[in-house]
Structure 1
Amino acid sequence: MIKKEDDFFSDMYQSINRAFADVIKEFGGFEISKKGFGFNPNFDIKEAEHDYVIKAELSGMDEKDVEISVEENLLKISGEKKEEISDKKGKYHVSERKFGSFERSFTLPPEIDSSKIKASFSKGVLSIHLPKNEKANTKKIEIKTE
């Protein structure tokens, strides 16, 4: 059997997280957990004059595997990239693809109109359009000399 490249680091990361969670629980704090260590999609955020656009690489996923929600000023994107069920014939010599759940949260700037957020999914790329409030769009004022 071929071990995945990051098994050692993944195991070490989880052990450290469990140790910290145990210590924090002793003092009445919150347990630490992070989803998505195996699969963490890449995100881009681009600002234009009238909106922001967030794009995420989600190759191998369908739109039904992704959930987007907004609560107050927090945009949450979560989903699961499911491992393909393969037949028992043959064996892997290399296994580099990542699978599993992920969750990302972004604090939205105050100028975002959350009632007008739209999302689309095409060719493995999730695009989220976050329009700015009209009053947030600034107008450049020309200064005249006298």
Structure 2
Amino acid sequence: MVKWYYRSVFDELEDMREYLESLNRQIYGTTPAALLPAPGGSPRKMLPAQQTTLPVDVSENDDEVVITAGMSAGITKKDIALDLIDPRTLEITCERKDETTDENERYYLRERSFVSMTRVVSLKKPVTDDGSSATFRDGVLEVHLKKITKESRGKIPVD
């Protein structure tokens, strides 16, 4: 006697979802030390690091929109660029490169770091770069954009 077992597409999708969740737990549910290869082991099994994000808060006053963004450690004022793409969209970009140079060419380990984050913030009200300002203090970027009725585009300097 032959026993037939019919599976639906939904059963296969559920199996795939469970498999992807188990992979996600393996990658992000472990400590960074667990991702390193064993002594004398192969570094081919290293897993990718979790991507960083740029959290923002958007609030609105009578005549302006205020965007507050918390930057990651090591970001300075010169690493930040603000671009008003259109009257309802602000792009915040920060990019930092750290490279140490050593006069001694006989180094055992040489590390470089590169951080790049971009966040596009959609705004409910149209704003302009005229009369707008941005400040960066203690790792917090605060952008004040003036509301308008007529739409325009432009770049905003960081103080």
Band the TM-score falls in, shorter-chain normalisation: 0.5 to 0.7
| Cα deviations by residue, 1:101-122 (Å, 9 ceiling, x for unpaired) | 1111123334323323211111
Is 1:80 the counterpart of 2:92? The answer is no
User: Would you say the 8 A contact 1:38–1:99 is kept in 2?
Assistant: no
TM-score in terms of structure 2 length = 0.49
| Cα deviations by residue, 1:31-63 (Å, 9 ceiling, x for unpaired) | xxxxxx632122111112221111111132101
Letter in 2 for 1:56: A
Q: Aligned-residue CA RMSD in angstroms?
A: 3.5
Match of 1:109 in 2: 124
Is 1:65 the counterpart of 2:74? The answer is no
Q: Return the structure number with greater strand share.
A: 2
User: Would you say the 8 A contact 1:39–1:100 is kept in 2?
Assistant: no
Work out which of the residue numbers 41, 47, 51 in structure 1 matches 2:54. Answer: 41
Distance 1:110 1:48, change over 3 A: closer
Letter in 2 for 1:122: R
Q: CA deviation at 1:83?
A: 5.5
| Cα deviations by residue, 1:46-105 (Å, 9 ceiling, x for unpaired) | 1122211111111321011111111223211111244686x989xxxxxxxx96211111
Match of 1:131 in 2: 146
Distance in structure 1 (CA, Å) of the matches to 2:142 and 2:99: 24
TM-score in terms of structure 1 length = 0.52
Letter in 2 for 1:51: E
Distance 1:77 1:101, change over 3 A: same
For these two proteins, the number of residue pairs brought into alignment is 100
Structure number with greater CO (CA < 8 Å, separation at least 6) is 1
Q: Which runs of 5+ in 1 are unaligned?
A: 11-36, 90-97, 136-146
